[in-house]
A and B are shown apart, each in its own frame.
Chain A
Amino acid sequence: MNGKKSRIKTGSYTLAMRGCELLKQNGIPCEISKISDPEGRYGCIYSINVSESNLWPAEKILRSSGIMVLP
Chain B
Amino acid sequence: MIYLDNAATTWPKPRGTAAAIAEVLSMRGANPGRGSYRMAELSAETVYKCRCRAAAFFGAKAPENVIFTPSCTHSINYVLKGVLSPGDHVIISDMEHNAVTRPVTQLVKRGIQFSTAHVHECDPQATVAEFRRKMRVNTKMIFCTNASNVFGVKLPIEEIGQLAHRNGILFGVDCAQSAGTVGLDLNKLHADFLCMPAHKGLYGIMGLGLLIINCDRILATTVEGGTGSLSGINIQPDFLPDRLESGTLNVPAIAALDVGMSFIDSIGRNRLETHEMNLICRAYDAISSMPECRLYTARPQPETHVPLLSFNINGIPSDEAAVCLGERDIAVRAGLHCAGDAHRAMGTQSGGTIRICPSVFTSADEIDSMIDAIHDISAQYSHN
Contacts and interface: CB of A to CB of B under 8 A. Distances in A.
Given A17-B44, A34-B36, A11 B64 contact: no
B239 A45 contact: no
Contacts of B33: 12-14
B230 A15 contact: no
B211 to A, nearest CB: 14
A3 interface: no
B237 interface: yes
Interface string B216-248: 000000000001111111000101011000000
A60 to B, nearest CB: 18
B40 to A, nearest CB: 8
B241 A12 contact: yes
A31 B63 CA distance: 19
A11 B44 CA distance: 15
A50 to B, nearest CB: 18
Interface string A16-42: 011000000000000011100100111
A38 to B, nearest CB: 11
Contacts of A11: 229-230, 237, 239, 242
Interface string A39-70: 01111111000000000000000000010100
A18 B63 contact: yes
A44 B62 contact: no
A13 B230 contact: no
Interface in B50-78: 51, 62-64
Contacts of A43: 230-233
A12 B237 contact: yes
B48 interface: yes
A66 B45 CA distance: 21
B121 to A, nearest CB: 41
Interface string B19-52: 0000000000000110110000100110010010
B63 A12 contact: no
Contacts of A14: 33, 48, 51, 63-64, 241-242
Nearest to A33: B36
A18 B64 contact: yes
Contacts of A13: 32-33, 44, 48, 228-229
Given A13-B32, A13-B48, A18-B64, A68 B230 contact: no
Nearest to B237: A11
A41 B41 CA distance: 24
A41 B231 CA distance: 9
A12 B227 contact: yes
A66 B230 contact: no
Q: Of A32, A44, A45, which is in contact with the most chain B CB atoms at under 10 Å from its CB? A: A44
A37 B232 contact: yes
Contact of B242 (A12, A37, A40): A12
B48 A44 contact: no
B234 to A, nearest CB: 10
Contacts of A45: 229-230
A12 B229 contact: yes
B48 A15 contact: no
A15 to B, nearest CB: 6
Q: Of A18, A34, A43, A68, which is in contact with the most chain B CB atoms at under 10 Å from its CB? A: A34
A32 B37 CA distance: 12
Contacts of A17: 44-45, 48, 63
Contacts of A46: 229
B212 to A, nearest CB: 14
A61 to B, nearest CB: 14
A23 B48 CA distance: 16
13 contacts: A12-B227, A13-B32, A13-B44, A13-B48, A13-B229, A14-B48, A14-B64, A15-B64, A17-B63, A40-B232, A42-B233, A43-B231, A43-B232
Interface of B: 32-33, 35-36, 41, 44-45, 48, 51, 62-64, 227-233, 237, 239, 241-242
